[in-house]
Amino acid sequence: MAAQGSYPDAGRIVDTMGKDLERLKQRIPLLEYLQRHHWTGHQVSARSEFVGLCPLHEETQPSFYVNAQKNLFYCHGCGRGGDLIRFVELSRHLSFRQCVDYLEEEFAPTAQLLHHTAAFYQLELRRYPEGIAYVAQRGVHDPHLIEELGIGYARGGNLRPHLQNLGYSLERVLEMGLIGPQGPDAFCRRVIFPCRHQDRIVNLYGRSIGSAFPHRLLPRSKGGLFAWETVRQFRNVILVEGLFDLAVLWQAGFRNTTCAIGTRLTPMQLQQLRANPDRCIYIAFDQDENQAGQNAADALLQCLDQAGLHVRIVSLPAGHDPNSYFVAGATAKDFAHLLEEAPSL
């Protein structure tokens, strides 16, 4: 049991950073933060203390205590404790300053607005058959995967009243680029993939199901590599151009697939790949007839090679990208074979 006073003193942080930080921590109670990140704790007797498994180390017996009143945690297993900022530092391996930025952004209206929009589009995918029909036509059938990736559908026309009901001003929604000046959704008739960075939605990608230009992102940063929180643990990483390529590969069991949304890496995305110098990257871009995909892969290869990474180029049958390859009937075994054959440089 956590004895009174076993929580480290939070005074250090209050003294150094002052009142803004206190306000931030009041706005985001530690317990609420942990629960949003799927921590479950049981209340200890009648006190405002909770206990559960430690998110900072592997354990089977709960020894992670949270005092909801004091906004402090302490783990008797690994001996670590502190306040919300300390928890974020330890769990996300961020500096103190990065933690503050992360928390500010996570609980800022931007992240929330995008979260509400993505959740709404997820519901619309179930409401309108044309969205799910398109997803199926692109070879994605697994309902768990659709849920996990947060795939949605924007039929168009419904988002504005929905967000206004939630209390967002029209200016805010316009400024974010979610609706056009005339009123319809910017993503009208598009299948939506939310782009996350460190668990929060930073942008939305919309694939047109009609005749409009196929690709659309909101006019803001697309964040890092897609699903990097999941993929970063792998030494071998498959890099694809599009999110439907990623979806079919995840569905086939290649969960080490990430996507830059396009053929160019941003400095942040390159940095992510470089973080592990032993990493091997399999580039699986489109093999289009006009060589554009091939040229893009070659350009990227130079860039990754200069960064000291091992790179292999996956050679798909002519005219195919990973998505169309699977839609045409390829199996996980077929793709694994292409990975084996991919020349190393």
Q: Which residues bind Zn ion (CB under 5 A)?
A: 54, 56-57, 75, 77-78
How far apart are CB 162 and Zn ion at their closest, in Å? 41
Q: What are phi and psi of 321, to 5 degrees?
A: -115, 170
Please choose, from the candidates 232, 258, 253, the residue with its C-alpha nearest in 3D space to the C-alpha of residue 243. 258
- Nearer to Zn ion by Cβ, of 65 and 228: the residue is 65
- Nearer to Zn ion by Cβ, of 8 and 77: the residue is 77
Q: What are phi and psi of 294, to 5 degrees?
A: -65, -45
How far apart are CB 261 and Zn ion at their closest, in Å? 36
Each as own residue / partner, the long-range contacts of residues 198-203 (CB below 8 Å, 24 or more positions apart, any chain) are 198/92, 198/102, 198/229, 199/37, 199/106, 199/229, 200/105, 200/106, 200/111, 200/115, 201/111, 201/114, 201/115, 201/118, 202/111, 202/114, 203/114
How far apart are CB 40 and Zn ion at their closest, in Å? 15
Provide the 8-state DSSP code for 179. Answer: B
- Nearer to Zn ion by Cβ, of 54 and 240: the residue is 54
- Nearer to Zn ion by Cβ, of 3 and 46: the residue is 3
How far apart are CB 90 and Zn ion at their closest, in Å? 9
Q: Which helix (H) or strand (E) holds 192?
A: strand 190-197
- Nearer to Zn ion by Cβ, of 81 and 139: the residue is 81
- Nearer to Zn ion by Cβ, of 55 and 184: the residue is 55
How far apart are CB 106 and Zn ion at their closest, in Å? 22
Round to whole Å and give the CA distance between 246 and 258.
6
Round to whole Å and give the CA distance between 278 and 84.
33
**3-class secondary-structure state, position 180:** coil
- Nearer to Zn ion by Cβ, of 57 and 162: the residue is 57
How far apart are CB 7 and Zn ion at their closest, in Å? 14
How far apart are CB 3 and Zn ion at their closest, in Å? 17
* CA 134 to chain CA mean position, Å: 23
How far apart are CB 91 and Zn ion at their closest, in Å? 11
CB 140 within 8 A of CB 146: yes
Round to whole Å and give the CA distance between 233 and 183.
42
Tokens 């006019």 label which residue?
219
Please choose, from the candidates 103, 101, 97, the residue with its C-alpha nearest in 3D space to the C-alpha of residue 37. 103
How far apart are CB 74 and Zn ion at their closest, in Å? 9
CA distances, 156 to each of 176, 183, 204, 208, 223 (Å): 16, 9, 15, 12, 25
- Nearer to Zn ion by Cβ, of 56 and 212: the residue is 56
The token pair at 190 is 């598009």
Percent helix, strand and coil across the chain, each rounded to 5? 40, 15, 40
- Nearer to Zn ion by Cβ, of 54 and 218: the residue is 54
